[in-house]
A = this chain, B = another copy of it.
Amino acid sequence: MEKDTTARLLDAAEYRMRRGGYNSVSFRDLASDTDIKSSSVHYHYPKKEDLGVALIDRYAERFFDALMVASSKAQTPKEKLYAFRKVYRGALYEDKAVCLCGLLGAEMAGLPPALVDGVTSFFEANVKWVSDALPDDLSKAEKYKRASTLVAAHQGAMMMANSSDDNKLFDTVTEFLISNTLGQD
């Protein structure tokens, strides 16, 4: 089965947005990417904001789906955190781009209001997932602290790897941090 138009539009929009940001995506670019006219893009997503919301929704859903798959056999906290890392790593290596929400999170103040919530929840859900992956005996506050640190470092490492064109930086940082964060009780 072929991909329908909305899927192809979202693919094109995600590709562009994860490289140049929200304002680097235009309806005409998407139109030429998908071989339709820009007015037809508006048929699927009347406002750019609508497109943005759909993009974030799809991205988040795909991210957490991938996270479930990657962590399905994980038992220990360590295994779960490596699953988390693996999903981030895939986004960087396979898509050759930073996290959509990481980029939009930086541009937050310039985004239409409807997008802000999606980005915020993405990170909340990230932190929650990592918190739940950490050892049970840690306090809630301690879990929050470590989970936030892990998510922040993954995002930062992604951005730095991207901007220095050196993906190994991501590997180095996240590997170090996971072993280190778990290394002490």
**0/1 interface trace, chain A 72-92, chain B, CB 8 Å (1 if under):** 000000000000000000000
| B residues near A157, Cβ cutoff 8 Å | 148-149, 152, 156
Q: How many residues of A contact B (CB 8 A)?
A: 52
Considering the complex, which residues of chain A in the window 128-185 have a beta carbon less than 8 Å from any beta carbon of chain B? 144-146, 148-149, 151-157, 159-160, 162-165, 169, 172-173, 176-177, 180-181, 183-184
Query: Quick one: given A20-B109, A21-B23, A22-B21, are A152 and B163 in contact (CB under 8 Å)?
Result: no
Give the complex CA separation of A173 and B153 in angstroms: 9
A102 interface residue (CB < 8 Å to B): yes
Query: What separation, in Å, do the CA atoms of A111 and B21 have in the docked complex?
Result: 10
A-B pairs with lowest CB-CB distance, top 7: A20-B110, A156-B156, A105-B163, A152-B156, A19-B109, A23-B23, A155-B156
Question: What are 17 A-B residue pairs whose CB atoms fall within 8 Å in the complex?
Answer: A16-B110, A19-B107, A19-B109, A20-B23, A21-B21, A21-B107, A24-B107, A102-B106, A102-B156, A104-B163, A105-B160, A106-B106, A120-B163, A123-B163, A145-B176, A149-B173, A152-B153
